[in-house]
Structure 1
Amino acid sequence: MNTIKKILAVIDPSKDKQIALNRSFELARKSGAQITAFLSIYDFSYEMTTMLSREERDAMRDAVINDRKEWITSLINQHGGDIKVDCQVVWHNRPFESIIEAVLEQNYDMVVKGTHQHDTLKSVIFTPTDWHLIRKCPVPLLLVKEHDWPAGGQILAAVNASSEEETHQALNHTIMKEAAYLADLIDGNLNLVNAYPGTPVNIAIEIPEFDAGQYAESVKAHHVATTHKLAEQYQVEPSHCYINEGLPEDVLPQVANQLDAELVVMGTVGRTGISAALIGNTAEHVIDSLNCDVLALKPQGYKSPLDKS
């Protein structure tokens, strides 16, 4: 991304306050980006009305779409006329697919969508649109909550600095570049967080002469060194680096709350299928624990399963 030229702002038809549209206007005023206010709607009853002809059903569907366009236009007009905003309403029974199709067809730089706490049980049985987008959206996905972005606020980049995998290293730099760009855009402060694993308990039990304390210190020193090296490349002071022992899904919310962060920027590997169901992504585990926005980024070269090109 590095610059934002086209934003797809996802409208929530069940809400009066459109936090994604509001955030999109904030970003557009600072970046000069164009916005498309996007709504995906579907009503199964219109498809099942067998007493009506196809033409009559189409006319009813078009009337619903036009009504929603008028409503969205009224929302846009509340923000004044200083930003170019388009309005797009599509009839589609899978919202996440319609969003990704729009991204692929019209080359948006960012998708902005409001989010909320998911019911844990429902999240297991019915995967929310957010989770589909975290896994499959090919461009940066900004999930917005009810948290302001004041000047001088805190942006937290979540990295895996010590990974030797090229994919992870490249993703670290993608995260840092986007976080640094947004910190500059909103006049915020850039911070890094790196979680590292604790000493495996079974090693200490199986090998009596194993020095758990020394091992823990050497692991921490390695993570501190690699995190500071990464931070230095983006002019981030060591005092803005948080290197904590624990699982990412525990460490990230703790540090974000400690800083009262406005935004967490993190990578997601885009797992789908069985591995996603069994393992899940860190971003999915973290998002419900954060009281701030999340920018989810894919590795370079990621191709969405919906991309048929």
Structure 2
Amino acid sequence: MSIYNKILVVADINSEVQPALERAMQLASKSQSTSHVLFFLSIYDFSYDMTSMLSVDERDAMRRGVIQQREKWMREIAKEHVLDDIQFDVRVVWHNRPYEAIIAEVFAGGHDIVIKGTRKHDLLESVIFTPTDWHLLRKCPSPVLMVKNSAWPENASILASVHVGSENHNHLGLNDAMVEQMNSLTDRLGAEPYLVNAYPVTPANITIELPEFDPSTYTNAVRGHHLTAMKALRQKHGYDESKTVVEQGLPEDVIPDVAQRLNAAMVVVGTTGRTGLSAVFIGNTAEHIIDNINCDVLALKPNGYVSPLDPKTAV
């Protein structure tokens, strides 16, 4: 069961509204033990480091002054959210790569989860993920919750986008982790849980290359395999069949569609943390799903994942 007693919240420097902080307080307030919320911000101004008119000490003093101003601002905007029974602190660091600063703080503080707001495009009703968001989703060792709205909708559901058709050890471990995380969240946020899986469409070129191939038989076999695997997963975790959805199609199409139908306020996804050229040219199925989801997203890494920014592995 997920604890979420040490929560790192990334502040949005461009807004007085902080949906990530509100969601963090929602989670922390439902904890059965004392929770600690760190309101965190990474700032950097190139001009403070480049000016030759100031000494090193003067530049350091100016940076400290900027940091203190930001800390004061963060404490002020956090007042309406902070609860008496939750340990709350603010930290501002000077770093030119926000995602590296955030992940360094996760390792230093042993945080259970990172919560960050996303930009919502009002015209297109879509969520815009920044480069910092993507780096966190790929490289952060702890779960990352991307928050869209402050308010938690009435009669909401939380979906776990499970991958039951695979026998890959990482996928199977992620399925269990996603269900456990979803259980914790539905208890805390008062939502209905659902397990959702998409199975592939029969490739059209097969029927052309193999005239004797029966696409309906193949499709039925694939669907049967996924239904059987979903049954095993739901029974393992004590879920009723009514709380499962298995549909044909690409996950990036099926999951957002089901999320809209079931009034999902959050979708839990697993991501392998792919980096480098494979991330640029191939991407993750999870990332394609995230692009199309218009609600909160919780991204998990597989068991044994090692972040490329882990200080223990740094050379």
TM-score (ref. length: structure 2): 0.92
Task: Give the 3 Å change call, closer, same or farther, for CA 15–283 of structure 1 in structure 2.
Answer: farther
Aligned to 2:63: 61
Question: 1 CA distance for matches of 2:289 and 2:171?
Answer: 18
Task: Give the 3 Å change call, closer, same or farther, for CA 154–185 of structure 1 in structure 2.
Answer: same
Question: 2 CA distance for matches of 1:137 and 1:111?
Answer: 8
Aligned to 2:14: 14
Is 1:230 the counterpart of 2:233 in the alignment?
yes
On the 8 A contact 2:196/2:244 being kept in 1, the answer is: yes
Question: 1 CA distance for matches of 2:186 and 2:52?
Answer: 55
State which of 182, 185, 191 in structure 2 corresponds to 1:182: 185
Deviation of the 1:211 alpha carbon: 1.0
Instruction: Report the AA paired with residue 279 of structure 2.
Output: A
Deviation of the 1:234 alpha carbon: 1.6
On the 8 A contact 1:151/1:187 being kept in 2, the answer is: no
Within a 5 Å distance, the mapping from 1:104-253 to structure 2 comes to 104-117=107-120, 128-146=131-149, 148-150=151-153, 152-253=155-256
Instruction: Report the AA paired with residue 57 of structure 2.
Output: E
The number of aligned residues is 302
Task: Describe the superposition over 1:103-155 as per-residue Cα deviations: whole angstroms up to 9, x where unpaired.
Answer: 0111000000001258xxxxxxx961000001000000000001632464201
Deviation of the 1:185 alpha carbon: 1.9
Deviation of the 1:288 alpha carbon: 3.0
On the 8 A contact 2:19/2:150 being kept in 1, the answer is: no
Write out the 4+ residue segments of structure 1 that deviate beyond 3 Å after TM superposition: none
Aligned to 1:28: 28
On the 8 A contact 1:134/1:270 being kept in 2, the answer is: yes
Deviation of the 1:79 alpha carbon: 2.3
SS in 2 for 1:163: coil
Question: 2 CA distance for matches of 1:147 and 1:242?
Answer: 27
Question: 1 CA distance for matches of 2:54 and 2:287?
Answer: 43
SS in 1 for 2:193: strand
User: Between the two proteins, what is the percent identity of the paired residues?
Assistant: 51
Instruction: Provide structure 1 residue ranges, at least 5 long, that are not aligned to the other structure.
Output: 119-125
Instruction: Provide structure 2 residue ranges, at least 5 long, that are not aligned to the other structure.
Output: 122-128
Aligned to 1:121: none
RMSD: 1.6
Instruction: Report the AA paired with residue 112 of structure 1.
Output: I
